[in-house]
Chains A and B, each alone.
Chain A
């Protein structure tokens, strides 16, 4: 029950951040990909099943909010959550460098999948690939350091490891 509450609160906080505090930043071209970050966080902390479920649910909420192409966020985020949840066993989850790389990769994959929909499919990517690359790189560069810093700050403030409660065999 407690876990479900945290799941729902996590989703609501992420969606609120995205539609309020982060939207002026996004309008200036700096997309802090809080959806991918939250999915990675959940997958590293709770494993593949919860990572995929969180990614799917939050992706579905984002899809519904976006009016067009329902399922695009849900598809990629559930796969990202699952893959990172599976990898979590072999990763040093508390390492800042690992978090930086994992979050950067997750953002890159997420953006590389969703941006072509905005460009009108493969035909649009043909002419809009500089825009696509820009979104992928700026998204990864803007999100990964901020997210890694947040995790470091959370670890310092609480005085314990962020992913310390993860299962021995997540998923």
Chain B
């Protein structure tokens, strides 16, 4: 059998066999390798190139975006003044009832350098890292809503695990009714975000907003996650399966904000 192929072909067959064996070994035991370090090196190599490529896209979009943002700032300033009054009332009422207050959020801006994953981006590389105070586990948002959490931190860059990662899970509640559930990404039969573990006894209506519940200590309470798009039944028929349209535009991320997590939860993925 060894003499069946010419020497050059035997060498190439041996090489591809080596590649196949290495790939199979990685499939079996790849999770145990220090992948974060390798990804950090890769991110550092690609970050300057990503910046150059994204710059062209950003320059073309910035003029239109600037006009829209001016309009939005005016609307939000009006809304903000009304909200301040309501917040003061809310704080007073919570004090009187002896309930804990809401956590004031610190927002650290960061630029999205690259999105990874096909067909749906499952992670993103950010321009901020440990040197900018970013820690593993911090929540990441846009002005529209929740994007994900920091999964890996490098000195000058970091990597966000987006809501569309299959391992992501966020404790959520339905606005105003307080119905609780866990948001997950379901890739099949069609990719979508799903609020799971919601009992049939709880009433949920299409169009209601979904917010972070604060039960997961990583995400502060009250961050918009999305809106109820469709109601269904989970496999097994024991709970509801609620399809959610994400609040943040996960496919068109340019700038995000990192929210530092609680001090005792920081640094853990």
Instruction: List A residues at the B interface (Cβ < 8 Å).
Output: 12, 15-16, 18-21, 23-24, 26-31, 48-49, 52-53, 55-56, 59-61, 63-72, 74-75, 78-79, 82, 85-86, 118-120, 124, 127-128, 130-131, 135, 169, 171
Contact = CB atoms under 8 A, between A and B. Distances in A.
A42 to B, nearest CB: 14
Interface of B: 8-9, 11-12, 15-16, 19-20, 22-27, 30-31, 33, 35, 38-39, 42, 46, 49-50, 53-54, 57, 114-123, 151, 161, 165-167, 187-190, 250-252
26 contacts: A15-B46, A19-B50, A20-B57, A23-B114, A24-B251, A26-B119, A26-B120, A27-B250, A55-B19, A56-B23, A64-B38, A65-B42, A66-B116, A67-B116, A67-B161, A70-B26, A70-B31, A71-B30, A74-B26, A86-B12, A124-B187, A127-B188, A127-B189, A131-B190, A135-B119, A171-B12
Nearest to A116: B188
A82 B16 contact: yes
Contacts of B251: 23-24, 27-28
User: In this complex, which of A66, A67, A86, A128 has the most chain B Cβ atoms within 10 angstroms of its Cβ?
Assistant: A67
Contact of A20 (B8, B26, B114, B166): B114
Given A20-B50, A29-B119, A52-B16, A63 B26 contact: yes
B226 to A, nearest CB: 16
B52 to A, nearest CB: 9
A57 to B, nearest CB: 9
A56 B25 CA distance: 13
Contacts of B115: 19-20, 23
